Amino acid sequence: MAVVQANNLLEDQSQIESGSLCSHESGPCGTFVGVYDGHGGPETSRFINNHLFQHLKRFTSEQQSMSVDVIRKAFQATEDGFMSVVAKQWPLAPQIAAVGSCCLVGVICNGTLFIANAGDSRAVLGRVVKATGEVLATQLSTEHNASIESVRQELHSLHPDDSNIVVLKYNVWRVKGIIQISRSIGDVYLKKAEFNREPLYAKFRLREPFKSQF
């Protein structure tokens, strides 16, 4: 999979897995593609790369099929796992609480394409028009970015008592004035009050009392 490195430290990961989608060979087979766009550091995207597919195989084995529920559980297990890593490393490396990653996944199994996304990466399907040779692009995923009005409306609906849940800062909409994406793996400093305090860098700490996770 091709990667264009924009930063000195590559924060992104990607993977392709083909074959069995469960822990034993008798279960469903298919192809798994993951794109993990990290930010704040490489730790979260690397963690996803090492654990998400393994969780997916485990839940597929339990249900003996691929489904939306299997993928959702795999995402949640990966999130929970990284949160445990942050809790363990917090005393010596507290800045890991401010590391996160978008997570875009595509799974092809038994003729069905599943798409799952947390963040603002985008899955696009290209189709060739035989008559003209033109390639038409169809967006398959939904982006979670505060620049999108529907995302801001969702955030206001989920946090009606927080007037600063989205803030226009330097002409860019950001969650709590800090981050553009509204969903991710990691970014634990916005999800647990215990990780939004010193010694975390001041730029990540919320000024007002921590009300609820984002």
Residue range 80-97: mean pLDDT, rounded:
98
For residue 200, which amino acid is it? L
For residue 143, which amino acid is it? E
Q: Is the pLDDT confidence value at 81 over 90?
A: yes
Cα atoms in the Cβ-side hemisphere of radius 13 Å centred on 114: 20
Q: Is the pLDDT confidence value at 17 over 80?
A: yes
Residue range 105-119: mean pLDDT, rounded:
97
Q: How much of the chain exceeds pLDDT 90, in percent?
A: 87
What does the pLDDT look like over 22-38, one tens digit per residue?
987 778 999 999 999 99
Q: Which residues pair with 209 in a beta bridge?
A: none
**pTM for the predicted model, two decimal places:** 0.90
- Residue 190 CB partners (closer than 8 Å, separation 6+): 175, 176, 178, 179, 196, 213, 214
Task: Please state the domain extents for the chain.
Answer: 13-140
Q: What is the CATH number of domain 13-140?
A: 3.60.40.10
Q: Is the pLDDT confidence value at 208 over 80?
A: no
For residue 37, which amino acid is it? D
Picking from 169, 101, 113, 103, the residue whose alpha carbon sits closest to that of residue 138 is 113
Directed axis angle between helix 43-63 and helix 68-89, to 10°?
A: 140
